[in-house]
Structure 1
Amino acid sequence: MSEQEILLETGTNEFEILEFHINEKAKEENKLEKNFFGMNVAKVVEVIESPNLGSNNYSVNPCFLGTIPLRDAVLPVIDLSIWLGMERVKHDHENIIVTQFSNSVQGFLVSGVVEINRLNWKDLIPPGNFIRKLNTKSIIGMVDKGEYFIQLLDLEHIVSDLNPGSIEEQWKTKVKTDKAYKVLVVEDSPTIRKMLEKNLVNSNFQVTITNNGEEAEKYLTDVKSQAELKNKTINEFIDIVISDIEMPLVDGFTLTKRIKRDTKLQKLPVILYSSIITDELRHKGESVGADYQVSKPDMNQMAEMAIKLIEGRQANTEN
Structure 2
Amino acid sequence: MSEEKGILLQSGTNELEIVTFTIAENLFCINVLKVKEIIHPLEVTPVPESHAAIEGVTQVRGEIIPVVNLSRVMGLPEKELADTKFIITELNKMKIVFRVDEVHRIQRISWEQIEEPEKLSIGLEDLAVGLVKLEGKIILLLDYEKIIYEISGHGDFAITAREKEGGQVNRAEKVIYIAEDSQMLRQLLEDTLHEAGYQNLHFFVNGLEADEHIQKLFAEQKMKTFDNLHLLITDIEMPQMDGHHLTKKIKENEVGRNLPIVIFSSLITEDLHHKGENVGADAQVSKPDIHQLISIVDDLVL
**TM-score normalized by the length of structure 2:** 0.89
| Aligned ranges 1:244-259 → 2 under 5 Å | 244-259=235-250
Match of 1:97 in 2: 87
Give how far 1:21 is off.
0.5
Task: Tell me, in whole angstroms, the C-alpha distance in 1 between the residues paired with 2:256 and 2:300.
Answer: 15
| Aligned ranges 1:112-123 → 2 under 5 Å | 112-123=102-113
**Tell me, what secondary structure is at the counterpart of 2:289?**
helix
CA contact (8 A) 2:47 2:57 kept: no
1:201 to 164, 186, 194: 194
Give how far 1:258 is off.
1.2
Tell me, which stretches of 5 or more residues in structure 2 are unaligned? none
Larger Rg: 1
1:65 to 40, 55, 62: 55
Comparing 45-54 with 179-188, greater Cα deviation is found at 45-54
Query: Which structure ranks higher in relative contact order (CA pairs < 8 Å, sequence separation ≥ 6)?
Result: 2
* 1:21 equivalent in alignment to 2:40: no
CA contact (8 A) 1:52 1:92 kept: no
Give how far 1:274 is off.
2.1
Going from structure 1 to structure 2, the CA distance change for 1:234 and 1:87 (only over 3 Å counts) comes to farther
CA contact (8 A) 1:121 1:250 kept: yes
**Tell me, what secondary structure is at the counterpart of 1:161?**
helix
Task: Tell me, in whole angstroms, the C-alpha distance in 2 between the residues paired with 1:94 and 1:69.
Answer: 17
> What is the count of residue pairs matched by the alignment?
295
**Tell me, what secondary structure is at the counterpart of 1:4?**
helix
Going from structure 1 to structure 2, the CA distance change for 1:282 and 1:100 (only over 3 Å counts) comes to closer
Going from structure 1 to structure 2, the CA distance change for 1:120 and 1:234 (only over 3 Å counts) comes to farther
CA contact (8 A) 2:207 2:239 kept: yes
Whichever residue aligns with residue 173 of structure 1, its letter is A
Question: Percent of aligned pairs with the same residue?
Answer: 32
**Tell me, what secondary structure is at the counterpart of 1:167?**
coil
**Tell me, what secondary structure is at the counterpart of 1:208?**
strand
Going from structure 1 to structure 2, the CA distance change for 1:60 and 1:281 (only over 3 Å counts) comes to closer
CA contact (8 A) 2:263 2:285 kept: yes
RMSD, matched Cα: 2.2
**TM-score normalized by the length of structure 1:** 0.85
Give deviations 1:105-147, integer Å, cap 9, x for gaps: 221111110011111110111112323322x221011111233
| Aligned ranges 1:170-319 → 2 under 5 Å | 171-175=159-163, 176-179=167-170, 180=172, 181-205=174-198, 206-224=200-218, 228=222, 233=224, 235-311=226-302
Match of 1:151 in 2: 140
